[in-house]
Amino acid sequence: MTLSHYSTLNYLHKPLRRNTGSAITELGPAIFIIFIFAFFPMLDLIFLGFSYCACQTLNNLQVAQAAKITSAQAQSDNGDIKKVIPETWTSTGLGSFVGLTELPITKVSYKEGPQTVYGNDYYVTVNTTVSVRPFLAIPFLPGIPGLHQPAVFAISGRKLVENYRFVQPEFMAGD
Q: What is the pLDDT of residues 54-112, one digit of tens each?
A: 999 999 999 999 999 999 999 999 999 999 999 999 998 888 899 899 999 999 999 98
Say what the pTM is.
Answer: 0.79
Nearest by Cα to 154 from 49, 46, 59: 59
Q: Which helix (H) or strand (E) holds 130?
A: strand 119-132
